[in-house]
Amino acid sequence: MGGDLSETGSGMGPAPNIASAMDAHILSDRGTWLAFRNRANLKILSEGDARLFNQYGVMLANPARHAHVKRDLGMDFVNWITGADGQQAVAAYRIDGEPLFFPNAKPGGS
């Protein structure tokens, strides 16, 4: 294993272009990869590795600490996104036919 580790300092949008121009590897999230069009010589070398699992979550901000929080509306959203309809909407979100997210909410939350 050799080579230098570098940071682009540019955010994930331009980073794949920089990697392509440098003939380098890049660690990218799925959304950036799917949205990126100028792939040139870049290709996916690895995906699905449990060590790179990037979990998204949802929770309501504490209304006791943040008086502006609209608790009822917030809980409506939490319940929707973790329920069957919300999980189906998450699964249906795609870029060029490729799923961006993989819903895994557990019934009843945890």
Of 3-17, 69-83, 92-106, least confident by mean pLDDT is 3-17
The half-sphere exposure of 60 on its side-chain side, counting CA atoms within 13 A, is 21
Domain ranges of the chain: 8-53, 55-110
Q: Give the CATH H-level superfamily of domain 55-110.
A: Periplasmic binding protein-like II (3.40.190.10)
What is the per-residue pLDDT across 76-89, written as a single tens digit (0 to 9) for each?
999 999 999 999 99
Average pLDDT for 4-15: 78
Is the confidence at residue 90, as pLDDT, over 50? yes
pLDDT in tens, 37-46: 777 788 889 8
Helix ranges (DSSP H) in 28-103: 30-35, 71-82, 84-92
Give the pLDDT confidence of 20-35 residue by residue, as tens digits: 888 888 888 888 888 8
pLDDT value of position 1? 47
